[in-house]
Amino acid sequence: MHYQPMKVPARTEGREGFYHITDISGDVENTVVQLIIRDHDRDIFNKRKAVVQQIVDDLNKQIPNVAVAEIKDQYYNMGEKNQTRDAHCRSSRTRNERIRNYTYY
């Protein structure tokens, strides 16, 4: 996957992933670009992060030590978390049903 400049929130629909620059600031010596990478598919999300890292690596090949990427995962697909929670709830419910149905002698 390569960087797709058209994959921004305004040009995507539904569950399509995107890159979204949220802030650019800088001066003569330093520039900081902050962005959000969003995708509902974990594999594509990881590929998008790799694209950002590749862009930084490519810049550093042209001008050594010119760019640094700090990639932090802050928000995950809540659907994945809910699946885990639901599986735990089903497991607990089944265990509790077994305990209630147990006959004591």
pTM > 0.75: no
Total Cβ atoms within 10 A of residue 80: 11
| Residue 104's pLDDT band (cuts 50, 70, 90) | very low
CA distance readout (Å), 44 to 2, 16, 19, 59: 11, 10, 12, 23
* pLDDT tens track for 46-85: 999 999 999 999 999 999 999 999 998 876 665 665 565 5
pLDDT greater at residue 95 or residue 12: 12
pLDDT of 86 reads 58
Report the half-sphere exposure of 62 (CA within 13 A, side-chain side): 7
Contacts of 38 (CB under 8 A, 6+ apart): 17, 18, 20, 45
The secondary element (H helix, E strand) that includes residue 91 is helix 78-100
39 in Cβ contact with 48 (< 8 Å):
yes
pLDDT greater at residue 2 or residue 16: 16
